[in-house]
Structure 1
Amino acid sequence: MTTQTTIDPTEVAKFEAMAAEWWNPNGKFKPLHMLNPCRLDYITRQIAAEFDRDLTRPDPFKGLRILDIGCGGGLLSEPMARLGATVVGADAAPRNIPVAQLHAEQSGLTIDYRHTTAEDLAAAEERFDVVLNMEVVEHVSDPQAYLTACHDLLKPGGLMVCSTLNRNPKSFVMAIIGAEWVMRWLPKGTHDWSKFITPDELYALLRTAGLDPVDRKGMVFNPASWSWSLSSRDLSCNYVTTSLRR
């Protein structure tokens, strides 16, 4: 029996072509390296608050099973493992997995990396305390079916952090014209603006999937300081949400 998938082969091919670049902070994934501290600040605080963990203690996420879906080269999987979590990193692009495995081995980290999909993991009845679903939903063929699979991957009481890009003129200027055409941080065509999702649309998709959205924040780039920060008000381009499986 073949599990239905929301994987878009065209999107997978884009990231396959860049697989060797994952750990180069000045390469094609430079925007993610720049964004990562902001993402991690949000992720760690949300997990710590929900599971009553003290981030100042050693291995604060020990005992938590975390799935990093669309893990790429492991930019989020590795910090989660360092915080003590049991981490599964999954990606639909097969060339990403050996890159992630090699870097984890070189870093002395044990991470279970797999070339698989959310749908296949759900069909195998895999369950997690936390699902990290970062910058993936805008690349799948059916966001509703994909988020429903992510819901099924959570244990009752589990938490999902999901980030994506808003769809409006500003995001087209920033993510397409700025990042791809002007700064050339990403190859042209990496993003399809028509597949961007507004915060209200994402909340509706999450609720339909059976999740309870409890928080959302913008991730805002400051060109003066060349850094990212979280914002409670500005969700106009990049933003991140937390939802729970009750």
Structure 2
Amino acid sequence: MSGHSASSASSARADELDKFNRLADQWWDEEGPFGALHAVNPLRMEFIAEHAVIEDARVLDVGCGGGILSEALALAGAEVTALDLATDGLDAARHHAQAQDLAIDYRLADIIDFAAENPGKFDCITCMEMLEHVDEPARIVQALGTAVKPGGWVFLSTLNRNPKSWLLGIAAAEYLLKLVPPGTHEHKRFIKPSELTLMARRARLTPRALCGITYNPLTRHYALNPHDLDVNYLLACQKDE
């Protein structure tokens, strides 16, 4: 899976932005390189809805890419602001939202700067499949903690770092099953749940739930599994009051 974003002054990586810009015209091809994101998006929304009320909420989607999650949040009744640093992907997101008559505030902005300018503004923040693409994920999590209001929710997803996640998240997903383009991920950038929960706590975010996303190659079916965090996983956090 994939995501991106960060800051020109901090953890934005030019190679990552170039990679996602090259794929920008394929964001909404459900059989294309982002097909896995389309497939898991209902599961991400289900996990979010278990914890937070989305309807009429002010939601920030960080590392929004082509807007797959942003649109789902808007369709669920949220007032959505979405950030990314890949310009071509943002253009794709804007065009698709306009075609669906969805009012999403897409911005070419870095979350670190944006959070400093908008502290405590959002009821809910999502940052999915992005942290494994930046150099300083802890700084991103810190910024998310700044931008969410006290009592608000932050939802993160990334990949665990272990031999199984290399086998399934890279070798199988990128080369054998071709679920995502080759070169999408670097295993050394994967983040263990223990590391991510520590980043969250340091940002005054209290971890509330962890849940894995599993894939069955025989049925080509993704599922939420709170007992299997070995590869892809989600973390729900709540900002300290």
Same fold per superposition (TM over 0.5): yes
Identity of aligned residues (%): 38
Matches within 5 A, 1:88-127: 88-125=81-118, 127=121
What is the Cα deviation at residue 3 of structure 1?
A: 8.1
- Are residues 1:36 and 2:41 paired? yes
What is the Cα deviation at residue 139 of structure 1?
A: 0.8
CA distances 1:159-217 after superposition (whole Å, capped 9, x unpaired) = 00000000111111111111211223322211010000111111111111221111101
List gaps (5 residues or longer) in structure 1.
Answer: 49-59
- Are residues 1:85 and 2:78 paired? yes
Between stretches 203-212 and 118-127, larger displacement belongs to 118-127
Of residues 159, 162, 184, the one that matches 2:178 is 184
1:153 partner amino acid: A
SS in 1 for 2:12: coil
SS in 1 for 2:87: coil
Between stretches 86-95 and 117-126, larger displacement belongs to 117-126
Q: What TM-score do the two structures reach when normalised by structure 1?
A: 0.90
Runs (4+) of structure 1 moved beyond 4 Å?
Answer: none
2:195 partner amino acid: E
The RMSD of aligned alpha carbons is: 1.5
Of residues 116, 129, 142, the one that matches 1:135 is 129
List gaps (5 residues or longer) in structure 2.
Answer: 1-6
Matches within 5 A, 1:149-228: 149-228=143-222
> How many equivalent residue pairs?
233
Q: Give yes or no for contact 2:62–2:84 (8 Å, CA) kept in 1.
A: yes
Q: 1 CA distance for matches of 2:157 and 2:8?
A: 25
Q: 2 CA distance for matches of 1:12 and 1:160?
A: 24
The residue that corresponds to 2:139 in the other structure is 145
Q: 2 CA distance for matches of 1:226 and 1:181?
A: 16
Q: Give yes or no for contact 2:160–2:230 (8 Å, CA) kept in 1.
A: yes
Q: 1 CA distance for matches of 2:110 and 2:60?
A: 11
The residue that corresponds to 1:7 in the other structure is 12
Q: Give yes or no for contact 2:116–2:147 (8 Å, CA) kept in 1.
A: no
Q: What TM-score do the two structures reach when normalised by structure 2?
A: 0.92
1:162 partner amino acid: L
Between stretches 18-27 and 33-42, larger displacement belongs to 33-42
